[in-house]
Amino acid sequence: MNKYVVRTSLVWFGVLIIALSGLFLYLKHKTSNHRKANLPISTEVQPVAEGPTTGPAATSTSTSTSDTTGSSAGATLPSKPQSALTPVQLSPQRMQSIGVQVGKVEYRNLDNDVRATGNVDIDQRLISYVQVRFPGYIRKVFVNAVYQYVHKGEPLFTVYSPDLVATEQEYLLARQGQRAMRASTVDGVAAGAASLTTAAEQRLGQWQIPHRELQQLKSSGKVITNLTIDSPASGYVTNYNALPNMYIDPSTRLYTVADLSRVWVYAQVFQDDAGRLKPGDPVEITVDAYPGRIFYGRIDQILPQVNLATRTVPVRVIVQNPGIILKPGMYVNCDLKAPLGRQLAVPSSAVFQTGTRSLVFLYKGSGYLEPKQVTLGPEAGNYYAVLKGLKPHQRIVTSANFLIDSESQLQAAAGSFLPPPTSAGNNSTSANASAMGNINFTTNPDPPQKGQNALHVRLTDAKGSAISGAQVTVKFYMAAMPAMGMASMNTTATLTGKGNGLYEGTASLGSGGTWQVTVVAQKNGQTIATKQLNLTTTGGM
């Protein structure tokens, strides 16, 4: 019994020790986490997420975080700024080699041409229908072919109508009674007989009996059993439904006669161009079947519907059709002209489209070209209307704009653009910087090499006298060569005056190859001489 008590006590004592050890470890771990939570955050560690902040520092942090993670919530990448508009300077030889031509900004009377295709259709206002106002039976048919031409008043068919015959008999009896009662002395008898005649004649008139048939009825005094129906207008029979012995009533459309001396043309204009047009605008129409011939018309109506398949708007044009040359259903080409009035305009070739803006190069004289952003209106033929950015009589480049833009970017990358002298663009003087001073540029060694090179410039005026006290800079530029993994390189050297028009300095060239060199001499804040040349250096890449 004592052994059982001792063993049980030992077991419970061991359990108690294990429980106390576990509690101690748990409290120690909790205390350690609490201390770590109270430690200050290192300034080198950036929080994973933070609230919106303001100020330049916040913008910089947001941009850096966005670049690093690429997925931070609320981070906005800054939009890429457009490249600055950089003027360009070209030598006369360079301008001639790339084909630069110069024109002027002028006011012009512009017509906005909208070209579209179309189809000829019948003018529905010139369609006539042939129907009778009484029931009957067709006896003879004189016109029995589609697109047979008929003249106004030409017989179409004859008809027998029992109702018409009865009315004619009533009319003849009324006339006989009127003649018999004319000598009556009884009051109202003669007047009553005359009213019966008038009523019968009016009924024949309401049935639109031809005047010729009515005169024959009066003169002959006999009933006309076969009444001849004439064409109400001149034109082509586009549909007929008149057959011998056929029963007809007032609802039966027997003939359709269309006058094709004037037709409609439905031009299918894209919905983007429909807003430029209005009723009354002139239209020129050409047909491949008649080369060189132009048909003239005017817009009658811009229909209020859009073809969902082609996104075009039908524009109805009225065209005179002498000689019936334009046939219904014929395919035609339409040139719809929307007059824009007198507008400030530039040639289309003068506009350089970058994709996000429209540029025009202003010619300042002496080879100086300045890009100018403009706001354009609609294009009319070979000209653009200018809404903003230019003034009348300004001189602009009208050709080779793409090559000039490439030259401008090249010179901007090299930092070699020179602002035009005060006299540039002035008609009173055409002297440029090269006429004010001459530059003689040499290097040591000659040709230059990769690495350090000595630069020598002798600056003289137009008479050959030395120019001292000028600031002379030499800029080297080599374009990037992506195929070889080389970025563009720039080197600028400022030369020191040695007296007697001599200036010296050094430049370190990072690679062999062809460098574009621009030498600039300035004095009193004005450029007095420039020189551009290409130098090939030795020493390899």
Tens digits of per-residue pLDDT, 483-511? Answer: 666 777 888 999 999 888 899 999 998 88
Confidence of residue 538 (pLDDT cuts 50, 70, 90): confident
Q: What is the pLDDT of residue 46?
A: 40
Tens digits of per-residue pLDDT, 110-154? Answer: 888 889 999 999 999 999 999 999 999 999 999 999 999 999 999
Q: Select the CATH number that applies to the domain covering 85-125+260-413 from these four: 3.30.70.980, 2.40.30.170, 3.30.1330.200, 3.40.50.300.
A: 2.40.30.170
Tens digits of per-residue pLDDT, 211-230? Answer: 888 888 888 888 888 999 99
Q: Tell me which long-range contacts 442-448 makes (C-beta under 8 A, separation of at least 24).
A: 443/535, 447/535, 447/536, 447/537, 447/538, 448/509, 448/535, 448/537, 448/538
Q: What is the mean pLDDT of residues 7-34?
A: 70
The CA angle 63-69-72, to the nearest 5 degrees, is: 70
Q: What is the C-alpha separation between 178 and 111, in angstroms, rounded?
A: 72
Q: What is the C-alpha separation between 531 and 472, in angstroms, rounded?
A: 11
Q: What is the mean pLDDT of residues 386-398?
A: 91
Q: What is the pLDDT of residue 97?
A: 75
Q: Is the pLDDT assigned to residue 426 strictly greater than 70?
A: no
Helix (H, G, I), strand (E, B) or coil at 70: coil
Q: What is the mean pLDDT of residues 84-88?
A: 67
Confidence of residue 421 (pLDDT cuts 50, 70, 90): very low
Confidence of residue 56 (pLDDT cuts 50, 70, 90): very low
For residues 263 and 147, is the Cβ–Cβ distance under 8 A? Answer: no
Q: What is the mean pLDDT of residues 406-415?
A: 53
Percentage of the chain lying above the pLDDT 90 cut: 37
Q: Is the pLDDT assigned to residue 84 strictly greater than 80?
A: no
Q: Is the pLDDT assigned to residue 16 strictly greater than 50?
A: yes
Superfamily of domain 438-537: Macroglobulin (MG2) domain (2.60.40.1930)
The ranges assigned to domains in the chain are 85-125+260-413, 127-258, 438-537
Q: What is the pLDDT of residue 205?
A: 80
Q: What is the pLDDT of residue 403?
A: 62
Confidence of residue 29 (pLDDT cuts 50, 70, 90): low
Distances (CA, A) of 152 to 61, 126, 156, 227, 259: 90, 13, 10, 17, 11
Confidence of residue 349 (pLDDT cuts 50, 70, 90): confident
Pick 348 or 56 by higher pLDDT: 348
Average pLDDT over all residues of the chain? 80
Confidence of residue 55 (pLDDT cuts 50, 70, 90): very low
Q: Cis peptide before 447, with omega less than 30 degrees from 0? A: yes
Q: What is the pTM (predicted TM-score) of this model?
A: 0.52
Confidence of residue 33 (pLDDT cuts 50, 70, 90): low
Q: What is the DSSP string of 457-515?
A: EEEEETTS-B--S-EEEEEEEE--BGGGTB--EEEEEEEEEEETTEEEEEEEESSSEEE
Residue 202 DSSP code: H
Residue 456 region by backbone torsions, left for phi larger than 0, else alpha for psi between -120 and 50, else beta: beta
Q: What is the mean pLDDT of residues 471-489?
A: 78
Q: Is the pLDDT assigned to residue 482 strictly greater than 90?
A: no
Q: What is the pLDDT of residue 157?
A: 95
Q: Is the pLDDT assigned to residue 266 strictly greater than 80?
A: yes
Q: Is the pLDDT assigned to residue 285 strictly greater than 90?
A: yes
Q: Is the pLDDT assigned to residue 393 strictly greater than 70?
A: yes
Pick 254 or 71 by higher pLDDT: 254
For residues 137 and 159, is the Cβ–Cβ distance under 8 A? Answer: yes
Q: What is the pLDDT of residue 429?
A: 35
Q: Is the pLDDT assigned to residue 82 strictly greater than 90?
A: no
Q: What is the C-alpha separation between 432 and 529, in angstroms, rounded?
A: 8
Q: What is the pLDDT of residue 400?
A: 66
Q: What is the pLDDT of residue 525?
A: 80
Tens digits of per-residue pLDDT, 181-200? Answer: 766 666 666 677 778 888 88
Pick 166 or 2 by higher pLDDT: 166
Strand order in the sheet with 235-240: 127-130, 255-258, 235-240, 149-150
Give the largest Cα separation in the chain, rounded.
171
127-258, CATH topology level: OB fold (Dihydrolipoamide Acetyltransferase, E2P) (2.40.50)
Range among 257-266, 359-368, 419-428 with highest mean pLDDT value: 257-266
Q: What is the C-alpha separation between 527 and 520, in angstroms, rounded?
A: 7
Confidence of residue 42 (pLDDT cuts 50, 70, 90): very low
Q: Evaluate whether 127-258 and 438-537 have a shared fold.
A: no
